[in-house]
Amino acid sequence: MPLSNAQYDEIMHEYDERQLHNRHILETRRAEVLKKLPRLKEIDASVASSSVRQARLHLDGDTNALASLKQELSALSLERQQLLTASGYPADYLDPVYTCPDCKDSGYIDGKKCHCFKQAIINTVYAQSNIRQILRIENFDNFRYDFYSKEEKNPLTGLSSYETAQKAVRECHYFIDDFDHKPKNLLFYGKTGVGKTFLTNCVAKERLDHGYSVIYFTAFQLFDILSKGVFEKDADAIAAHQNIFDCDLLIIDDLGTELSNSFTTSQLFLCVNERILRQKSTIISTNLNLEQIAEIYSERTLSRISSNYSFIKLFGDVIRIKKRLSK
């Protein structure tokens, strides 16, 4: 995925800001704790002194003295933890703070880009950096069942709108729980405003929070990028194709709102099929029913989706209106 120098510098600046912020958190914690527990300052001084001696003994090859010093350091570390926990602090309260513990906020692990760096690239290249702000609101903690009716029922399933929403959330959790072991795909469908995009974002947040790469596109955005790569030979769009096929989770929102033609039909099949072959998970949301999907994108595409996706139909009143009325 190509980055301009300015984009790379922007990402690295974000890492610098992150490190500065986390150092400030640690310094604030340290000042707070040392005020209450002055013994910790003595322990830290002893640890620093012992560490210097350990380094010298290691260079001198004195293994007996080295073993003794290791025991001394271990005892000091244990005393430190006990002091913290006895005062109501977590044992690791004064450990370095990292937003991404895997790369320690450097962006790299053994010279290779960390998953957090890859997601930062995705956010920059695909202009989806606001996704984090959206997901602070649209997540499982904020999902409201009371927007779904217990009286209105689906005649085909016998389930109410409320029960259907409960089942949909369970399906989402199954999807999340099996993500590492058995890649799955979801198709949310139903009329506008019944919570399809909200549930999609709930799943996206869970995957992002666990370090997976997630790309979110509206159908229009997806086909626009694909067309630029095919027809305009745009270098960035061509490079984006690989990421569309390889990211851990691809989200295609509002399928059917784009201008449909033979190109979008063929590209949807290619995208769906390629990700299935690569065992990569995809979530599609659409206002179309299954017959309309077959009519617009072909029976072949619907057949491929039917064989590899879990279908989740949501129904009920328009939630946006209910939200306004409840305020």
Considering the domain architecture, whether residues 143 and 256 belong to the same structural domain is answered as yes
Q: Are residues 144 and 251 in the same domain?
A: yes
Together in a domain, 158 and 294:
yes
pLDDT value of position 281: 96
Whether residue 152 sits in one domain with residue 51: no
21 lies in some domain: yes
Token pair recorded at residue 139: 């997540």
| Residue 116 domain-assigned (yes or no) | no
In the prediction, which pLDDT does 57 show? Answer: 64
Whether residue 165 contacts residue 252, with contact meaning beta carbons closer than 8 Å, is answered with no
* CA distance readout (Å), 208 to 211, 212, 250: 5, 5, 12
Same domain, 34 and 148: no
Q: Examine the domain organization and report whether 308 and 174 are in the same domain.
A: yes
Is position 117 within any domain? no
Q: For residue 189, give the DSSP letter.
A: E
In angstroms, the CA 82 to CA 89 distance is 10
Cα(259)–Cα(267) distance, integer angstroms:
13
Q: In this structure, is residue 147 part of a structural domain?
A: yes
| Residue ending a domain, choose from 109, 140, 157 | 109
pLDDT at 55: 66
Q: Are residues 83 and 163 in the same domain?
A: no
CB 289 within 8 A of CB 189: yes
Q: How many helices (H) and strands (E) are present in the chain, helices listed first?
A: 13, 7
Domain range for 67 is 5-109
Looking at residue 96, the DSSP 8-state letter turns out to be P
> What Å distances lie between residue 10 and 14, 305, 321, CA to CA?
6, 39, 39
C-beta of residue 245 within 8 angstroms of C-beta of residue 213: no
CATH number at residue 291: 3.40.50.300
In a domain, 91, yes or no: yes
The per-residue pLDDT for 210 is 86
Q: What is the pLDDT of residue 322?
A: 58
Last residue of a domain, one of 41, 74, 109: 109
* Residue 20 sits in the same domain as residue 143: no
pLDDT given for residue 257 in this prediction = 92
In this structure, the answer to whether residues 87 and 205 fall within a common structural domain is no
Q: Are the C-beta atoms of residues 197 and 134 closer than 8 Å to each other?
A: no
Q: Is residue 66 part of a domain?
A: yes
310 found inside a domain: yes
* Residue at a domain's end among 57, 80, 109: 109
d(CA 49, CA 229): 60
Q: Does a structural domain hold residue 121? A: no
Alpha-carbon distance 313 to 161, whole Å? 10
Sign of torsion over alpha carbons 192, 198, 199, 200 = positive
The dihedral built from the CA positions of residue 163, 169, 173 and 179, taken in this order, carries a sign that is: positive
Clarify whether residues 85 and 221 are in a common domain: no
Helix (H, G, I), strand (E, B) or coil at 286: strand
- Quick one: pLDDT at residue 170? 95
Distances (CA, A) of 18 to 14, 50, 107, 135: 6, 31, 11, 20
Say what the pTM is. 0.71
Residues 198 and 233 in one domain: yes
Tokens read off for 285: 């949301």
Q: Print pLDDT tens along the chain (327 aa).
A: 456 677 788 889 999 999 999 999 999 999 999 999 999 888 888 877 776 776 676 666 666 666 777 787 788 888 889 999 999 999 999 999 999 999 999 999 999 989 899 888 877 766 555 677 788 899 999 999 988 999 999 888 899 999 999 999 999 999 999 998 888 999 999 999 899 999 999 999 999 888 888 889 999 999 998 888 877 777 766 767 778 898 899 999 999 999 889 999 999 999 999 999 999 999 999 999 999 999 999 999 999 999 999 999 998 877 665 565 565
Instruction: State the residue for tokens 């409840």.
Output: 326
Helix (H) or strand (E) holding 151: none
Number of domains in the chain: 2
Considering the domain architecture, whether residues 317 and 186 belong to the same structural domain is answered as yes
